[in-house]
Chain A
């Protein structure tokens, strides 16, 4: 079963601009995680936000969580060409474990 759903499915921006991706989910969670996957490569963990947290930062990444709306957002500031990748949100629930959405494909134009 897949609970999270990312929006948009694809995003193309200019280098230096900020990129925002959203994730909506359906049931109560323990935490929500964001991952990056470069083409043909493995999944890399970016950031985890627990259900009792509202915002977390890591370098150029900012994640928010709104449990009342069952949604999260990932903001990448000052984007670089190397940020081109697919980004996935994953929700951790006691019943279903860790399930992923279909991802947002981000392209950074030089």
Chain B
């Protein structure tokens, strides 16, 4: 399968724990995006990379969120000291410049 893959698909964690999600983009895509989506809302932009450079990070995000894309390939999104308000679907997408973005199936995070 050559689509965008995300791991894990589901994550349940206790409040205060750290979690890390992984995204493997389509191999020839140099752009990679992270979004958060809650029920009934549109995807909320978190951050994006062009190759390994992180070009933009939402001003809405707290310092508890961090993302990396070593060597411009896969990416990880870490949330430290999780809160119940972090419960959401976390989406990853990839694209080439000025072309359509392809989305993964997402990681559903539940903080209890």
A31, A43, A99, A103: the one contacting B91 at CB < 8 Å is A43
A-B complex: 4 closest residue pairs judged by Cβ atoms: A97-B48, A100-B42, A102-B42, A43-B103
Q: Does A110 contact B (CB under 8 A)?
A: no
6 of the cross-chain contacts (CB-CB < 8 Å) are: A33-B100, A45-B103, A48-B100, A88-B42, A88-B43, A102-B41
Cβ of B75 < 8 Å from any Cβ of A?
no
Binding site for A on B (CB under 8 A): 31, 33, 35, 41-45, 48, 55-56, 58-60, 91, 93, 95, 97-106
A98 pairs with B95, CB closer than 8 A:
yes
Residue interface mask A80-102, B partner, CB < 8 A = 1: 00000000101010011111111
Residues from chain B with Cβ under 8 Å of A103 in the complex: 41-42
Q: Which residue of A lies closest to B98 (CB)?
A: A30
Please judge, given known A-B contacts A2-B44, A33-B101, A45-B100, whether A95 and B91 are in contact too, CB under 8 Å. no
CB-CB nearest in chain B for A99? B45
Q: Report the tally of A-B residue pairs with Cβ distances under 8 A.
A: 59
Residue of B nearest to A44 (CB): B103
Kindly list chain A residues whose C-beta atoms are within 8 Å of the C-beta of B101.
33, 45, 90, 98
Question: Complex formed: what's the CA distance from A103 to B101 in Å?
Answer: 17
A1, B43: Cβ atoms under 8 Å? no
Q: Is A59 an interface residue (CB 8 A)?
A: no
Task: Report B36 CB to chain A, min CB distance, Å.
Answer: 11
The answer on a CB contact under 8 Å between A92 and B98 is: yes
B42 x A97 contact (CB < 8 A): no
New A-B pairs, 13, CB < 8 Å, besides A43-B91, A96-B45, A102-B42: A1-B59, A2-B44, A42-B104, A42-B105, A43-B93, A45-B100, A45-B101, A48-B99, A92-B98, A97-B56, A100-B35, A103-B41, A103-B42
